[in-house]
Amino acid sequence: MITKTNVRPYKGTDQWEADVFMLINGKEVRRRWRSPMPSKLATERWAREKAKGFLADYGTPASPAEQEEEAPPKPATPLLREYAVRWMDEYVIANRHSNATVEGRQKCLRNHLLPLLGELPIDKIGPAEYQKLRQARKSHDVNGVNKMCDQLTTMLHVAVEWKLIVAAPKVKRLKAEQKEMAVLTLEEGERLVETAQVFGAKFHLVALLGVDGGLRNSEIIGLRWSDIDFDRDEIVVQNRIWNGEEGPPKGKKNRRIPLTGRLREALQAFPRKARHVFVTYKGTFIKTNQTLPEWFEKIWAKAQVPRGIHTLRHTFATDAVDAGVPLRAVQTLLGHASIVTTERYLHTRKGQLANAMHTLEQARQHRDWRKTGEG
């Protein structure tokens, strides 16, 4: 029979330990067990059930009172679709993730995770379920599938912290093929700026904010006159517009961009109509991120250069690296949280490869070859 049960915190952890004394064949036996239960009361009940099994193995029945006591029902593990609601509310939104992040998380749940795994208890999601997700989305880009799996992993790690499950599965990411980023050559960059100037002042200014400032699409339309400091010759990037709402830059970190001479001139010459630099005909800020690409369709066609507002940012970064600007400085100018992201701009332009081969060819032609038989 069970004579005594003590429950206390397990040393150095946030778990509980049960210390149980039992009477077996007239002798007192003591056993200590580390509990998987989240509370002291649940641990005490769990320990008594554990002790009953221990006594049964020795052929010692529990006392009548203990036999009549019903085992406590185990708390049901939530289904993924149930847990997702709490995770979005108490983790993503509670931790004040950006609107763009919240929308992305919801979209991933709605379109991928819940349709495939929503009816599974979260403690039943393992490597096989990750593989099911990859198989079902095999037509998607590898990076996109990795993001789906990353979100699922984050959700399960939070579930461990909340003591809803014991552990999260360890799953490796798919190896993604490194794709070359679209970037303009020096000639293409200047041609785009000149072509944009022909179309008008606002197009010229957008081109310069990308090529000379490295601003993102959302940061360009979110730029306010108060963010420009002509005394210090710099732009303080501290606002962006995403899906019609203003907020801090990506990563929630402000950064300062020194003005080039031509960017300063373009800003000073640009008319101030409202709080924001670029506004609609009504004087309100631009709410859609598709506006700039629509503005530049004819410009890209006429300049005959690769399309994309983000391509201007790539060009800014690549030009800086090629000019010998330290990678840490480029990281700061771009506002990257990790230097690994900035290292993508260390790629070599095709023109540089051609020049390298030409240099090698010239060196070989001028090399003094040793004649056969010479010592």
Residue of 112, 250, 264, 276 marked active site: 250
Say which of 52, 105, 264, 313 is annotated catalytic: 313
> 186-199 and 309-322 are packed helices; what angle lies between their axes, rounded to 10 degrees?
140
The yes-or-no answer on residue 112 being catalytic is: no
- Dihedral class, residue 96 (left if φ above 0, else alpha if ψ from -120 to 50, else beta): left
Which member of 310, 344, 347, 349 is catalytic?
310
Tell me whether residue 313 is one of the annotated catalytic residues.
Answer: yes
Query: 52, 112, 216, 240: which is the annotated catalytic residue?
Result: 216
Catalytic option among 52, 105, 276, 345: 345
105 assigned to active site: no
Task: Give the C-alpha distances (Å, rounded to integers) separating 153 from 93, 119, 147, 156.
Answer: 18, 17, 10, 5
Q: Whole-angstrom Cα distance, residue 11 to residue 325?
A: 52
Catalytic residue among 112, 264, 314, 336: 336
Whether 366 is a known active-site residue: answer no
The H or E element spanning position 240 is strand 240-242
* Residue 120 and residue 80 in contact, taking contact as beta carbons nearer than 8 Å: yes
Whether 358 is catalytic is no
Residue 83 annotated as catalytic: no
Phi, psi (degrees; rounded to nearest 5) at 224: -110, 155
Q: Which two tokens stand for residue 210?
A: 């990308």
Give whole-number Cα distances, 228 to 214, 218, 254, 263, 280, in Å.
15, 16, 13, 11, 20
Catalytically active residues, by annotation: 216, 250, 310, 313, 336, 345
